Amino acid sequence: MTPKAPRIVALALLVLAINGAHAKKKKSSDADAEPDGSARMQVEIDADAEASVKKNPELAAEEAAARAGMAREISDALTDVMAVLQHGSDSSKDAGLERMIHLSMGSSHAGPEQARMFRSAAVAGGAVSAIVEVLGAADPRRQFLAANALYALAIDDPTSDADNFVSLEICQSGAVKPLVKLLGSEEEPVQSAATAALSALAEDPTCQQMIAGAGAIEPLVQMATFAGDMNKLGAVGTLDVLSLNNPSVHNQLRESGAQKVLDGLGTMGSGLLRDEAGALGKRLGAQSAAEMSRGAHVKAAKATRVRYDNVRRKAIQMMGGWERGHGASGRGRGRGGPDDEE
């Protein structure tokens, strides 16, 4: 696995989340891709697997209610993916994770309600525990896929202001500690995927507390200090969401020396980082704002994450332009270029 290609894939997922239902994908491409993937995974599917899984009655009812409102083809696809994630081989689980990401992001094409119900059915049906298991794998590629799958489930449909209401259940299903552990990975693509998942989950106030309590602040500050520019941005964005309406995190950041790091990025960092890092540094140095209600917190946290995702999207577009048109000469553009992190 080369460092560059997976990183671009991870960031592309962020673009998909922002564009949501506005992404221009042909339906025929989904149809063309389906037979091969289904055929490979079907070998691993036990026809009675779903019925044999013992579920909490409340979760089973929640899953059934969500499935009842889903389009038949989406529900059938989710059934196949869930069977593979719970009973397949490692290679089949990897294919299932890729398909889970595709389905979760692509469900927006059927409307925000379908997107919400897909995520609800997947989480209630036990997807998180299967994904968390893969987070603990030794292979960085598998860690990367699992973190991106959690991001795809945690993210709200971008065409609506509605919360998908599954973040807390994801956090309470054991996703927080392994995601925080991945922040210390030596593979930058894995770090990038972990920050994306954590920033999406941290929109929920309880998840925010769980993530901070699991020790996320120190490795995020380390990333903001030493990682490449794109991962510095991901770390700063996650710290921004974690610090929102949270005096305890503000104190941790001050004690960890984050203020100095952010001030440095705000004055001497690349154009990708300067504005956001400088603004967060000023907020940490200011007097604490009045406490927010849960609804206001969720709304403000989502707006914060989307703002950082928009910066990433612009960076990807710039990166693509330089790779096509400038090649090595793009380095001559100085601090503002994503190529500088290489």
Distance from C-alpha of 96 to C-alpha of 41, rounded to nearest angstrom: 7
Q: Which residues contact 203 (CB under 8 A, 6 or more apart)?
A: 156, 163, 167, 241, 298, 301, 302, 305
User: What whole-number distance in Å separates Cα of residue 191 and Cα of residue 155?
Assistant: 18
Domains of the chain: which residue ranges? 1-171, 202-323
H-run or E-run covering 231: helix 229-243
Q: What is the pLDDT of residue 320?
A: 63
Q: What pLDDT does residue 160 have?
A: 63
What's the pTM? 0.76
Asked if residue 236 lies in contact with residue 255, where contact means CB atoms within 8 angstroms, the answer is no
What contacts 141, CB < 8 A, 6 or more positions away? 1, 6, 94
Can you give the pLDDT at residue 40? 35
Give the type of residue at 124.
A
* CA separation for the pair 105, 22 (Å, rounded): 11
Per-10-residue mean pLDDT, the chain, length 342: 44 42 36 38 35 56 70 85 92 95 84 84 91 96 97 79 81 96 96 96 95 97 94 96 93 90 90 90 78 90 92 79 44 31 28
Q: Please give the pLDDT value at position 36.
A: 42
- Asked if residue 266 lies in contact with residue 233, where contact means CB atoms within 8 angstroms, the answer is no
User: 71 φ, ψ to 5°?
Assistant: -60, 145
Give the per-residue pLDDT at 288: 67
Q: Does an H or E element contain 74, and which? A: helix 72-87
